Amino acid sequence: EQTTQVRQVKTTQVRQVKNNHISRKQAFLKHSHILFSGLLTGFRSLHINDQMTLIQYSWMNLMVFSLGWRSFQNVTSEYLYFAPDLILSQDRMRRSPIYDLCLAMQFIPQEFTSLQVTKEEFLCMKAIMILNTVPLEGLKSQAQFEEMRQNYIRELTKAIHLKERGMVASSQRFYHLTKLMDAMHEVLDRTGSHFSIISPVYTCV
């Protein structure tokens, strides 16, 4: 009985350590998102309420989108690269309780691989995603926001031209990249409105 109690205490301690580790990762990701947003040209000149709204509306998109980029950069499309100490293979995904969610998120690095997205394109897309979702009532700095958004769409077009010189090829690439950004809504519908999906992965694989 005493041995069982010791095991239960150790199990609880391990879970607490894992949960603290996850919380630190989530806090770091959110902080990185805020820093990236602040570096965007024109972002800090928006009304402070607008800045907070855009960050709140987009942080989940960016976390999942960045997960796709890390996976594309560091592993093959058969894996998900959450962090250096949390890389999920197909087998580990299959044994987790969120296998269907992993498959949904895996769509992103697979598309990055298929399109061979460049870093310049990724950064432009990341900026546009911050500016992609706004409340129905609009923003206090709506005109300034629209100008900022159009500027980053133009930057994406420039990044595409570095890879595709022809007008037809660049137009097709712009279509595919914007289609990928639009597909994020469907991915997020399947992953839910929070990023705590990492937690069951940690505890079950």
| Rounded Cα distance, 146 and 42, in Å | 11
Beta bridge partners of 83: 86
How much is the pLDDT for 199?
Answer: 42
Structure-token pair, residue 41 = 């040209």
Structure-token match 């205490």, residue found? 9
Domain that holds residue 187: 2-204
Q: Residue 60, Cα to own-chain centre: how many angstroms?
A: 6
| Rounded Cα distance, 150 and 156, in Å | 10
Total domain count for the chain?
1
The candidate with the shortest Cα–Cα distance to 163, out of 119, 127, 129, is 119
The candidate with the shortest Cα–Cα distance to 88, out of 59, 63, 109, is 109
Q: pLDDT (tens digit, 9 = 90+) per residue, 19-74?
A: 454 556 656 666 777 888 889 999 999 999 999 999 988 888 888 899 999 999 99
- Do residues 160 and 173 make contact, with C-beta atoms less than 8 angstroms apart? yes
Here the CATH number for the domain that contains residue 109 is 1.10.565.10
pTM, entire model: 0.79
Q: pLDDT (tens digit, 9 = 90+) per residue, 130-152?
A: 998 888 888 999 999 999 999 99
